[in-house]
Chain A
């Protein structure tokens, strides 16, 4: 087993870190406070090859793979988690297109997405449930050459700004994975919901009212919608969420460590007080453990394992990294005292973002269901 990062992986990390520090760090607080998602930075990230990192070069991607993607999302989330979170959902659709889409669909949608000229959203969740896909209510009825879509999706990241949305609807006896473009008559993004964390990400409902989409917008085979969706969530959404949580934990840890080295109490920096130091040590250990669970997941995917084969590994990464992120942020707030809860200390936003990761890509207990299912058999 060779655990050493390759030169390319090191250079990737350095590049994404430099990108995050220069494009995201200076305005992280104000992105959240003003609710302004850094779409400009997203576009620059695309030009650097980060958006299409798991897409093939043939369609404009950079094809560096899933482990590279984990590193990238970690580094971005270390500085500004909402952008990392965007990658988590935005790349699900791109994975779906890459692996299940037709040649025409790939040629049409992937290059502009990889260049950052367009943005894609992913819509599975409905009011009746996200984790239980059998409760889908949105329908897509084939009428001639078109699907007539009716229904509503909730908690959709970038739903109102996306140029194209990948979504799942009931069709006949099964479900279909379909694409709808912005501006299609009958497709609206009626309400933007407020949230606790991931501050600047535009989140909305999607409403389909007799929305007609061409049948060419079916991705993959008829009836396979939910299975393809779960593959995408498994390969991209869930590992991505794990990497976001990892980045949040790392960022919060660094903020607290720096504070502990500068803050003097009882005649010395508090990092020299054993209780504080041990708390930081615990963070250090847990983040490192989370890191390897995350990277292992990426590595397995790069080895060609299907998300179904490695469901437990993926679930472990999301479950553990997210728990660690929340623990770290809470403890960090304790260590930093009153300052920990002042926004300008850059911890509060991370604490909020960590909470948002709990339901993302499957609630924590859903991850347990997956692993439990495997061990209890």
Chain B
């Protein structure tokens, strides 16, 4: 009762990272509430994955297997999870806001007639020593200009979805957990059935949609070219862009130019490399969530519009940045 649960997600026999991240947050919440942390896993022959869930924090894992659950099946998954939740009545349920998670979570919440908060960036407990501790769910609103606190004061469970990359997973710990097998037998004809899952490499996102944009400017001329920018973009899974001088030098096509006469972008991360920060350039990324600027001139105006500024030789800094990112992995 009142436990913290994570609905884990696996695809073709591999657990999604966000499930571990949520177990990390779940561990913290469960500790505060002094309750247990459980995970729910559905699929076909996924028992072996339960070990990972335990070692990343789950005290117990409910696992349901059936050949017909090899792919995500929305009606069956939603039914199973809702019934399980209704039986055991956890207080908090966390679900990763992946494409599948966003398909599943609302249906479960509607079945249980309870509250669901999507894309939480922060979760914390208040009133923990009372009879009814509350989960405060924080989400960005209105394009990120405002932060909204949401609560589900009465109904239970309190369900929240969280995007990958927001929470942090615990360190792996060798431990034992309880594995409970669910009786699953999918015999009925499905009204909605996933037939096939096709993997496609994401083609370079359009500049305006990219979550990460790396733009290079005039300073790259002396740094020997645009490859440094391209490599940095690649390791971040981001889009390559540039200033007017970059276009004039033939490094990028016109449609990748950021600025007043080019594109306006509002990515989560905008990196300016070797651009001094002329207003016609900086006007193109005013709404970026975080701006990182790299330039060799400490007085360059670009540093006035950056959150983090790195001063130094591009040839030295960029390779270090790439190495560091490869090691720590900052993919959104």
Chain A interface residues toward B at CB < 8 A: 29, 259, 262-264, 339, 344-346
Contacts and interface: CB of A to CB of B under 8 A. Distances in A.
B261 A345 contact: yes
Interface in B241-282: 244, 260-261, 279-280
A262 B244 contact: no
B82 interface: no
B283 interface: yes
Contacts of B286: 262
Interface string B217-258: 000000000000000000000000000100000000000000
Contacts of A346: 261
A345 B259 CA distance: 10
Contacts of B244: 344
Nearest to B278: A339
Contact of B280 (A29, A264, A339): A339
A259 B279 CA distance: 9
18 contacts: A29-B261, A259-B260, A262-B260, A262-B279, A262-B283, A262-B286, A263-B279, A264-B279, A339-B279, A339-B280, A344-B244, A344-B260, A344-B261, A344-B280, A345-B260, A345-B261, A345-B280, A346-B261
A124 to B, nearest CB: 38
Nearest to B304: A264
Chain B interface main SS type: helix
Contacts of A259: 260
Interface residues of B, number: 7
A344 B281 CA distance: 12
A336 B280 CA distance: 11
Nearest to B259: A344
Contacts of A345: 260-261, 280
A26 to B, nearest CB: 8
A374 B280 CA distance: 49
Given A262-B260, A263-B279, 16 more contacts: A29-B261, A259-B260, A262-B279, A262-B283, A262-B286, A264-B279, A339-B279, A339-B280, A344-B244, A344-B260, A344-B261, A344-B280, A345-B260, A345-B261, A345-B280, A346-B261
Nearest to B283: A262
Interface in B161-204: none
A377 B261 CA distance: 51
B177 to A, nearest CB: 55
Contacts of A29: 261
A260 to B, nearest CB: 11
Nearest to B255: A26
Residue among A29, A344, A345 facing the most chain B CB atoms (10 A cut-off): A344
B265 to A, nearest CB: 15
Residue among B244, B261, B286 facing the most chain A CB atoms (10 A cut-off): B261
A345 B279 CA distance: 11
Contacts of B261: 29, 344-346
A113 to B, nearest CB: 34
Contacts of B260: 259, 262, 344-345
Contacts of A264: 279
Nearest to B257: A344
Contacts of B279: 262-264, 339
Question: 9 nearest interchain CB pairs?
Answer: A344-B261, A262-B283, A263-B279, A262-B279, A345-B261, A346-B261, A345-B260, A339-B280, A344-B244
Nearest to A264: B279
Nearest to A346: B261
A29 B247 CA distance: 15
Contacts of A339: 279-280
A346 B283 CA distance: 14
Contacts of B280: 339, 344-345
Contacts of B283: 262
A171 to B, nearest CB: 51
Nearest to A339: B280
A263 to B, nearest CB: 6
A79 to B, nearest CB: 14
Nearest to B282: A262
A262 B279 CA distance: 7
A29 B262 CA distance: 11
A345 B262 CA distance: 10
A55 B260 CA distance: 39
A271 to B, nearest CB: 13
A345 B244 CA distance: 12
A264 B283 CA distance: 12
A349 to B, nearest CB: 11
A262 B244 CA distance: 18
Contacts of A344: 244, 260-261, 280
A262 B281 CA distance: 11
